[in-house]
Structures are given as structure tokens and as C-alpha cells.
Chain A
Amino acid sequence: MNMSNVVKRTVRPFRALKFLGRKPHTVRIPHEQHNDIEGDPLPTERYRGVHVNNWDECISCGLCAMVCPCDAIEMVQIEGEAKVRPEVSYGRCCFCGFCEDVCPKDSLHLTSNHTMLDTSYDTFVFLPTPMLREFEKEYRVEPALLCRARKKDDGKAEIIVGDPYRKVE
């Protein structure tokens, strides 16, 4: 090994010091917004997250249930409702967004809410309603607070949590 090589090998590690001057690119998640390279906030409108369904517009066609590749959507007959409504199981959903594409009235929509966690698996089956919009700012959802129905013996379901017609702006 010649002398210049020795000098090179001794000096080279110190080149790493230049990284001290760079801005860190860690996203400190609870305290910081996740931005892309130009500083625009993520996720964007296109993000495929948890569903909302406007019950005033939904015509109960059931296309969303038919197109779902994961068998996640079931049309549920709710007591006191004239129409059946889609109920989504998030233990099945793969967030492909086909249900949104196929919806003829654009009432079913995938929001950008991406974080949904709970201690019990039961709460992951719920009825998409505009109530979800309450959580939109933080991109996280408390599934236990959303509109949920329970099947009764006669095949109909009763709503046990939430009010599907509540307006959220």
C-alpha cells in the first residue's frame, strides 16, 4: 500500500461530516405534517382511505357489493329504512376504490383518512356515513364511534351507534 492510499483512506471518513449540514428528511410524525418533495401535504385527495356514503344520494343499487374483489361490502336492510345500505368490513377491504368508480351516483367515496385502529376486531364492520368527515383533519378514524348496525333475528339490522343522517360540514 503506497502513501497516497494511506492518506486517502485516512481522510475519506471525514467527508461524512458534510452530512451534518444537511436538512434532515425525517418526518416527525405526530408533530409534523407529512409533505412531499415540493412541500405539498400528503395524503392528497386521490388517496384511497376509509369510505363515506351520502345516504341521501345512495340509491341502494348494490353495484359496490358486486364489484368488490374482497367480498367486503354487504347490503344491509336497516330497520325503518326503505333501502338497503352498504356495510363495509375493514377486515376484508383492500382499498382498491372500485366501489367508488362503479357508484352511479358518486355517493360512495373513499376519503383520505388512512389511520384506523382498535383493540377489538368487531368495530371494523361499520356503515359508511358522512359522520366520518369529523375525523378528516387528523386523517385518523375511531371506528368505535362510527355508525354501526347489529343484525337481528328477523334479518333486519338496527343501528346501535351513530346517526347516519347527521350533517357534517
Chain B
Amino acid sequence: MNPWATGIIHTLLLIVIMLLNGSMIIYMLRKVLGHLHLRLGPTELGPGGILQLVPDIVKLLVKEDRHPGTTDRWLYIIAPVIVFVPALMAYIAIPFSDKLIGFDVNLGVLMLFGFLTVIPLGIFAAGWGSHNKYALIGAMRAVGGAISYEIPLLLSALIPIMLAGSFSLKAITMAQTTSIWYWLPAFPAMVIFFICSIMETNQSPFDMSEAESELVSGFNTEYSAMRFGFMYLAEFSNNFIMAAIMVCLFFGGWSLPFIDPNSMGVFAPIVFIIKTYLVIFAFMFVRGTFSRYRVDQMLAFGWKKLMPIALVYSVVVAFFVKLISMKTGGGL
């Protein structure tokens, strides 16, 4: 087949998967938060209200694209794209199974984090370009949060990498099939990673840049119609990506215990998605329960608590990894 056609088809497939996934997570958020709050969530359209997303998307598409006159026009327009594209690109490095992976690079983890790091930039552009004080405060908070939480995030991600001896997500997953899943030896790292990914995806209790009760809607106050839709979708896509990374690093990817990873076949992506959605459920559960941090408390928590713990723990793990590898002459 023509490689161009294959490329285009794959790209479109990726976009469709991403959109479907984003919609599923939005539906799931509504249902989980609904039931958590003794409500029902959407019920009217389709079985269990699953088709509610269709009119929502149609509404976003046909809505007037309101554009405040005083914005920095270029930044205002490009910001949703900056937020949306990395969220889309990050899908290519996620190993849904040993074969279903877009682009298995050696440094897959780094590539994913690289994509995700661009998102706060987009949020900042949105906040700055909106010419709105609430949006600006939200943007500043997003940048501050991103700086202080990406360090412990990467430090805690280092631990499974050290344990597996590889940066490739596929290799890390495969390494977990031969030994135990890494959440057990790397439990503190998993907790830190979980907390930091909540921050990274701008969810309560770290939804600083959005902070509805303080900043109305934070960085996306001035956005409407499909531009807002992009931001909204990107948020859930990030959610999925962070959960997927977490599943790869700590919960054994597509593998299941006591089952030969090579005989999983078509079940592998299903197992992976179920695991990911369970992690997303944990995100949502936290989101619907807790109070928000204050911005200085959040920064203090990131710098003064999470980062030292992650640092010390990675040193400890490095030491033990070296010790074991000297004994056995190989990986863990």
C-alpha cells in the first residue's frame, strides 16, 4: 500500500480513537461524579444517556465563536491548538499491547513527558492572550504548578525506569511481566506520581488554573464554542494519557498476572484500557471529594514534600537496584 495513504489513515484513526476516548471519559466523568454526588448524570439520550455527547458536541460546533475585542488575537487562536495537539500526539507512544503501539521509541517515557510539558505553555498562552485578569491569574498558576510538579513527576517515573532498565514503555511493561508489577516496590513513587498527575492534568484538588470558585473558569474564561471544546477535550485526553503512563509504569501495562503476556492477543488492549479507566476513576473520585489547595500551599507541597521524598526514594531504589544487579548479574 502507498505509505502516504497508510500514514493518513493511521493518523485519522488516531484522531478518531482520541475523540472517542475523550468522549468516553467525559461521559464517565459525568456518570461517576453524578453517582458520587447522589445524582444520575445524563439519562435522557440513548441507553444510560451515552448519546448526550452528540448534542454537546453539536452545540459546541454551532455555537457563536465569541471573540473579545481586546485579546492578543494570535495567541488567543493558537492556544487551543497548543493544548490540543500534544494531547493528540502523546497517543502514538502509548503501548496498548505489544503490537498495538504507534511508535515504539527507545525513550518513549521521555517523549510522552515532552509532549505533556507543552500543555502548560498552551494554557499560559490562553490565559495571556485572553486579556482577562482571571485568565491571567489562572495561567500564572498553571505555569507555577507545572514547574513545581514536573520535577517530582519525572523523579517518581525514574524509579520504574531504573527497575526495568529502559526508557521504552514497551520494555518497562515487558519487564513487569517477568517480575512483579512495580507499584509494590515503588509504592511511594506511585503515590507521588498519582498526585503529580492530578496536578499535571489540572484536576481538583490541584485545579489551580481553573479554580472555578475563585477564578470563575481560570484560563479558559474567555473561550467559547469549539475553541473551548478543544481545551475541554484536551483536558480529558491528558487525563487518559497520564493514566496510561501510570498503568505502564506501575501496573504492568496490558499484562495480567499468571497469564502469558504473549498469548493475550486481542485481550491485551482491552485489559490495558480497563486498567487505565480504573486509574481515571481514581482521579475522578479524588476530584469529587476533596478541597482545593491554596496556591502557595500547593507549591510548598510540591517543592518541600514531594520533591525531597521522590529524590531520596530514587536514590534508595538506585542503590538497591545496583546491589541486586551486582548479585544476580542482571536486571531485577
> Are A and B associated in one complex?
no
Q: Which residues of B come within 8 Å of A, CB atoms?
A: none
Q: Which residues of A come within 8 Å of B, CB atoms?
A: none
